Amino acid sequence: MKAETGDPAGAWQRDADGELLVAGQPLSRVVAAVGGTPCYLYDRARVTARVRGLRERLPSGVQLHYAMKANPMPALVCHVAGLVDGLDVASAGELRVALDSGMAPERVSFAGPGKSDAELAQAVAAGILVNVESFREIGVLARAGERLGLKPRVAVRVNLPFELKASGMKMSGGARQFGVDAELVPELLREIAVAGLGFEGFHMFAGSQNLRHAAIVEAQRRCYEQALEWQDLLPAPVRSLNLGGGFGIPYTPGEAALDLGPVIDNLGGLAQRLPSDWPGAHIVIELGRYLVGEAGLYVSRVVDRKVSRGQVFLVVDGGMHHHLAATGNFGQVIRRNYPVAINRTDLGTETASVVGPLCTPMDLLADRMELHRAEAGDLVVVFQSGAYGRSASPRGFLSHPDVAEALV
């Protein structure tokens, strides 16, 4: 094994002592400054570079939103809010953080099945855009609007008649709990008009974690064409056409980063058609993982080093209760190791498994990987951990302590 850091993109450097550098400092110092392990570290400069880099390439007429469910840590959301055009929330809890961030309510949207009456009323009062996902939501929004003396702002979330090919997680096509089936959209649009809601556009989200530009381009085109079919049924002009996102990041050495060029070109083409198809409208893409995933590290410390029948196990003070996705239990079909590295390089290399303290074989952060050799007390890093980490993990399972998070 080469003395590389272990991350797939080779994006993280080591200092002369072999320690990983985070925000310009050796990892051990950063960890000490945030109060020890286990912890998530989110690199502020990397988030900034990623979001700015993408936004600069987006054609005018295309807005970039951050989907907060990828990582709702308040300090991170506040930072990202200053770099994007809007925030997408999926609960009243996320809505509170979004409003705290200083993002203008006009630029916040709310999607998700099963929004409660209270959540919908909160959304109306806040003045955010609600992506309607059922006929029931129309009535609830109309009543909330009457009570508050406000006109609820809505877009229609569509369950498309197709799915996003090659997606890590499909969220459209066939029978789904998300959105309203495309066939029912004409009827829904009529009800929105009758209820007197403020129609603003469509929301179409086909899937997540996609590394194939051709699949993303095709989905965006088909979403655009789909929305055109309802041209004569609109209760009000389309202002916002949300084409979803689904941009993925690589997790294994075999995965190549998404080639953004064709996706940007396609968005440019659609943005050019926009003024004639829907004058005054803009396109939105909403991304979570792509904006923050690569900027995050999950850091734990070796508690015990065990050899079982010739196999080395590094038992660490963190695991699936903090980072379910890294153990392969967050929707993955096949378990693959996340990129993992040891924060020292002076003891040679070996094949080792990294496991957490939970009494279940699922608590496996690295399965027989080639790693630098580690002893008790050494730090273990899981890369690509900025999205779907702490908030997407069963932190109560086995009643171990929670994990700290820091924006560094």
Residues annotated as part of the active site? 359
**Judged by CB, which is closer to ligand PLP: 270, or 325?**
325
Per the document, the length of the chain is: 408
One-letter identity of residue 264: I
**Per CB under 6 A, does 110 bind ligand PLP?**
no
List Cα–Cα distances, 252 to 6, 230, 334, 384, in angstroms: 10, 41, 12, 10
Contacts of 387 (CB under 8 A, 6+ apart): 70, 71, 249, 288, 289, 292, 293, 296
Whole-angstrom Cα distance, residue 386 to residue 41? 8
How far apart are CB 244 and ligand PLP at their closest, in Å?
A: 6
Region binding ligand PLP by CB under 6 A among candidate stretches 54-62, 287-295, 302-310, 358-366: 287-295
The residue whose Cβ lies closest to ligand PLP is: 288
How far apart are CB 384 and ligand PLP at their closest, in Å?
A: 12
Q: Choose which of 50, 69, 107, 115 interacts with ligand PLP (CB under 6 A).
A: 69
How far, in whole angstroms, is CA 47 from its chain's centroid?
13
Whole-angstrom Cα distance, residue 35 to residue 403? 11
**Per CB under 6 A, does 179 bind ligand PLP?**
no
**Per CB under 6 A, does 94 bind ligand PLP?**
no
Q: Is the dihedral of CA 133, 136, 138, 140 positive or negative?
A: negative
Q: Choose which of 14, 213, 282, 289 interacts with ligand PLP (CB under 6 A).
A: 289
**Judged by CB, which is closer to ligand PLP: 251, or 363?**
251
Q: Choose which of 245, 318, 328, 386 interacts with ligand PLP (CB under 6 A).
A: 245
What sections of 197-242 are H helices per DSSP? Answer: 213-228
Whole-angstrom Cα distance, residue 352 to residue 14? 21
Q: Choose which of 145, 152, 173, 288 interacts with ligand PLP (CB under 6 A).
A: 288
**Per CB under 6 A, does 68 bind ligand PLP?**
no
Torsion of CA 70, 75, 79, 82, to 10 degrees: 100
**Per CB under 6 A, does 128 bind ligand PLP?**
no
**Per CB under 6 A, does 142 bind ligand PLP?**
no
Segments of 227-345 assigned E as strands: 240-245, 282-287, 296-308, 311-316, 340-342
Q: Site for ligand PLP (CB under 6 A): how many residues?
A: 16
Name 108's bridge partners: 87
- 260, 303 Cβ separation under 8 angstroms: no
**Judged by CB, which is closer to ligand PLP: 112, or 145?**
112
> ∠ CA(130), CA(208), CA(273), 5° rounding?
65
H/E segment holding residue 64: strand 62-67
Whole-angstrom Cα distance, residue 196 to residue 213? 39
**Per CB under 6 A, does 87 bind ligand PLP?**
no
- Terminal CA-CA length for the chain: 30
**Judged by CB, which is closer to ligand PLP: 133, or 378?**
133
**Per CB under 6 A, does 224 bind ligand PLP?**
no
**Per CB under 6 A, does 160 bind ligand PLP?**
no
**Residue given tokens 């072999």 in the structure block:** 18
Whole-angstrom Cα distance, residue 258 to residue 246? 11
DSSP letter string over 331-387? S-SS--PPPEEES--TT-EEEEEEE-SSSSTT-EEEEEEEEE---TT-EEEESS-SS
**Judged by CB, which is closer to ligand PLP: 7, or 88?**
88
**Judged by CB, which is closer to ligand PLP: 246, or 319?**
246
How far apart are CB 111 and ligand PLP at their closest, in Å?
A: 5
**Per CB under 6 A, does 287 bind ligand PLP?**
yes
How far apart are CB 179 and ligand PLP at their closest, in Å?
A: 9
**Per CB under 6 A, does 71 bind ligand PLP?**
no
**Judged by CB, which is closer to ligand PLP: 6, or 328?**
328
Q: Choose which of 19, 286, 363, 378 interacts with ligand PLP (CB under 6 A).
A: 286
How far apart are CB 208 and ligand PLP at their closest, in Å?
A: 3
SS3 336: coil
Whole-angstrom Cα distance, residue 48 to residue 185? 38
Region binding ligand PLP by CB under 6 A among candidate stretches 65-73, 330-338, 357-365, 366-374: 65-73
**182-221 mask for ligand PLP (x: CB under 6 A)?**
-----------------------x--xx------------
**Per CB under 6 A, does 70 bind ligand PLP?**
yes
Residues that bind ligand PLP (CB under 6 A): 67, 69-70, 88, 111, 205, 208-209, 245-246, 286-290, 387
